[in-house]
Amino acid sequence: MQIIESVSELLTYVENGKQKGLKSGLVPTMGALHEGHLSLVRQSVKDNDVTIVSLFVNPVQFNNPKDLETYPRQPEQDFKLLAREGVDVVFAPVESEIYPEGFDRNRKFNLGKVAEVMEGKHRPGHFQGVALVVNRLFQLCRPTRAYFGLKDFQQIAVIREMLRYEDLDVEIVPCPIVREESGLALSSRNMLLSPAQRREAAAIHAVLKESVDFAKSHSVEETRRFVVERLDAKDDFKVEYFEIVDGLTLLPVEEWTEAALIVGCITVYVGNVRLIDNIQYKQLKAN
């Protein structure tokens, strides 16, 4: 496994692969890797001739300086984990490689309405920052496929929207959410929770799962309130938003019959750690 820090070395590697006609997979991450990230990596290794994993804590997508400062970083451990997975290249650049002098960090992408709701509303500028870094990584790595976790459900919709307007031919591969045995969705931020908070945080998935049953005999709004009230009742919990949306447009639905794919997306503060998760109420059928 090669660890590449500079753009010029990466470009040489990528060009070489292209000339050999190799299919490549890219897994963009911010490091502090866990089994969720590794599931994306394994899928990419399976699907492609070569896999590039990027490790870069992208300052442009953080709207809260404190969050950026406390975001966990453990590159040496990440390298060890990735070396066992058959990864070909880890791209671990410093900020000036991703955003060199003169690079337009304020470039705005057309991300449509999917970027305006939920995370878009609560984290101003976040998705523009995500689009900026993912676009840059796509330009540099020119992957055949790129792997993203469904934990960040809205992020996948936003990246697809970004691709519609960019001259990039990348297949987006969404991957299932990986959870702890307790049900808590794996997240690099989980390590910022105290042991007690981490145990309590399992309630997020437990309540969401319960709400799928509840939904069978209740309206969308009753289901929404069920989740918010149950979680807000817990010490140290504050639901920032919980929205039940059409899985394609990400706009709130009022009736269960309104869309073929219906997803509940939640953000909860446990203490001062911001956790996100989601659950499907209704799934698209093959026919």
User: Between residue 128 and residue 167, which ones bind ligand AMP under the rule CB under 6 A?
Assistant: 148-149, 151-152
Task: Candidates 185, 207, 220, 279: give the one binding ligand AMP (CB under 6 A).
Answer: 185
User: Between residue 65 and residue 104, which ones bind ligand AMP under the rule CB under 6 A?
Assistant: none
Task: Candidates 41, 134, 163, 186: give the one binding ligand AMP (CB under 6 A).
Answer: 186
Task: Candidates 25, 36, 143, 264: give the one binding ligand AMP (CB under 6 A).
Answer: 36
- Alpha-helical regions (H) of the chain: 7-19, 35-47, 65-70, 75-83, 95-98, 119-122, 126-141, 153-165, 195-200, 202-214, 220-232
DSSP class of 277:
E
Task: Candidates 51, 128, 144, 188: give the one binding ligand AMP (CB under 6 A).
Answer: 188
CB of 178 to ligand AMP, least distance (A): 4
Annotated catalytic, 37? yes
List the structure tokens of 40: 């994306």
CA distance 13 to 100: 20
Q: Which is nearer to ligand AMP, 1 or 177 (CB)?
A: 177
Residue at shortest CB range from ligand AMP: 149
Task: Candidates 30, 60, 111, 275: give the one binding ligand AMP (CB under 6 A).
Answer: 30
Q: Which is nearer to ligand AMP, 187 or 211 (CB)?
A: 187
CA 42 to chain CA centroid, Å, is 16
List the structure tokens of 272: 């001062």
Strands (E), 56-120: 89-91
Stretch that binds ligand AMP, among 31-39, 85-93, 210-218, 278-286 (CB under 6 A): 31-39
Output the CA torsion 60→29→94→66 (10° steps).
50
Task: Candidates 118, 175, 193, 244: give the one binding ligand AMP (CB under 6 A).
Answer: 175
Stretch that binds ligand AMP, among 114-122, 185-193, 217-225, 255-263 (CB under 6 A): 185-193
CA distance 264 to 210: 12
Q: Which is nearer to ligand AMP, 112 or 183 (CB)?
A: 183
CA 206 to chain CA centroid, Å, is 21
Closest listed residue to residue 273, CA positions, set 64, 55, 28: 64
CB of 179 to ligand AMP, least distance (A): 7
Q: Which is nearer to ligand AMP, 4 or 30 (CB)?
A: 30
Closest listed residue to residue 89, CA positions, set 16, 19, 4: 4
Active-site residue (options: 34, 37, 205, 218):
37
Q: How crowded is residue 100: how many other Cβ atoms within 10 Å of its Cβ?
A: 9
List the structure tokens of 106: 């304020």
CA distance 135 to 61: 13
Task: Candidates 14, 118, 178, 244: give the one binding ligand AMP (CB under 6 A).
Answer: 178
Residue 275: burial class (beta carbons within 10 Å; 0-12, 13-18, 19+): buried
Q: Which is nearer to ligand AMP, 170 or 215 (CB)?
A: 170
213 contact partners, CB below 8 Å, separation of at least 6: none
Residues in the site for ligand AMP, rule: CB under 6 A?
29-30, 36-37, 39-40, 148-149, 151-152, 175, 177-178, 185-188
Catalytic residues, which ones? 37
